[in-house]
Amino acid sequence: MLLGILFVLGTVNFAVHKAVLESNHPMLDTLPQSFTANGGKLSLVIEFCVLIVAMALSDNGWPAAAWVYGCYSALNAVTAWLLLNGRV
């Protein structure tokens, strides 16, 4: 069950991450070029690695990793909302 929740959170994180990358927000210009080049593929790979580590740790008896990933997902959602709605 926990892995399913993490998978859903990961899918949402990917969607939010891609939406922010495609928004061309001026704040993205402050990132290194390698993170935004090729549609942000490097940053999406890092996002995937974070998800895999959270899932692996949770599956191996570290349920706190799921809580940390949940907090990370909430921060991603709030940040994306702020950027996409022009609040920042």
Q: Would you state the pLDDT for residue 69?
A: 98
Res 59 pLDDT > 90: yes
Look at residue 39 in the predicted model and tell me its pLDDT: 85
Task: Give the pLDDT confidence score for residue 34 in this predicted structure.
Answer: 87
Q: Which residue has the tokens 């990793």?
A: 65
- Tokens 């949770």 map to which residue? 58
Which domain range does residue 71 map to? 2-84
pLDDT for 23-58, tens place per residue? 989 998 898 998 888 989 999 999 999 999 999 999
Which pTM value belongs to this model? 0.89
Measure the CA–CA gap between 40 and 49, rounded to whole angstroms: 14
Q: Tally the domains of the chain.
A: 1
pLDDT at 3: 94
Considering only CA atoms, which of 24, 19, 26, 64 is closest in space to residue 44?
A: 19
